Amino acid sequence: MQALLALENLTKTYRSGATDLTVLAGVSLSVGAGETCAIVGPSGSGKTTLLGLSAGLDVPTSGTVRLAGHDLGSLDEDARARVRNQHVGFVFQNFQLLPTLTALENVLVPVELRGESGRRGDAVDLLGRVGLADRLDHYPVQLSGGEQQRVALARAFVNRPQLLFADEPTGNLDGDTAGHIVDMLFELNRTAGTALVLVTHDLDLAARCGQIARLRNGRRVE
């Protein structure tokens, strides 16, 4: 069976002025449906860059990215956006809720982007599952960091993605709250079969994943 996410020999070089800075050099990685994978490494080692390339947020200098059967290199930006909307969910370190939208509206954005309607019930349900049933109409500023991240989690799952990308999802949260979020992530992995790709500093969290990719200076060392 084909892997859900297959990265082959990814290289990313940034040109700044006259010098080239190679941020990723020949990284390969494969994540199957329902699997979990942690990307770890020191700060500046290229984790975020790798995640961005995997999700089609940027294009590699060389190498290929296959995501849910699509070769991202052959798609234009809008087509990649469609792939993201259909197959991928995101959780960010700094939550990235839209501040002008309520919790419920934030969760509904991916649904609306698909042009679907009548999914309000699902969204309310999801927010209930992350423990925010009574905060539907609150704006992000009215929520704590942990609550915001739970809304982000609900938003990431509302389209029932096959794959969820999370860049240091607990980096801005305290231990207890972080643990709660992580539990939810794995719970969704189990119940919905969503594959997880997590960037993290937290070794305990990494240890719970089926696969660990270690990066150093843009190279995969393990």
Ligand X SMILES: Nc1ncnc2c1ncn2[C@@H]1O[C@H](COP(=O)(O)OP(=O)(O)O)[C@@H](O)[C@H]1O
Tell me how far apart the 2 most distant CA atoms of the chain are, in Å.
Answer: 55
Residue whose CB is less far from ligand X, 10 or 107: 10
User: Which of 24, 55, 68, 151 is the binder for other proteins (CB under 8 A)?
Assistant: 55
Beta strands 211-216 and 88-91, pairing class: unpaired
CB of 48 to Mg ion, least distance (A): 3
Q: DSSP assignment, residue 73?
A: G
Region label for 196, one of left (φ > 0), alpha (ψ between -120 and 50) or beta (otherwise): beta
> Per CB under 8 A, does 115 bind other proteins?
yes
Q: What are phi and psi of 136, to 5 degrees?
A: -55, -40
Distance CA 151, CA 81 (A): 21
187 contact partners, CB below 8 Å, separation of at least 6: none
CB of 70 to other proteins, least distance (A): 13
Residue 115, token pair as written in the block:
């042009």
Stretch that binds other proteins, among 22-30, 31-39, 62-70, 100-108 (CB under 8 A): 100-108
> Per CB under 8 A, does 61 bind other proteins?
no
Distance CA 55, CA 5 (A): 9
CB of 52 to ligand X, least distance (A): 8
Site for Mg ion in 44-73 (CB under 5 A): 48
CB of 186 to ligand X, least distance (A): 22
CB of 106 to other proteins, least distance (A): 9
Residues of this chain that interact with other proteins (CB under 8 A) are: 48, 51-52, 55, 57-58, 77-78, 81-86, 88, 90, 92-93, 96, 98-101, 105, 109-110, 112-115, 141, 155, 167
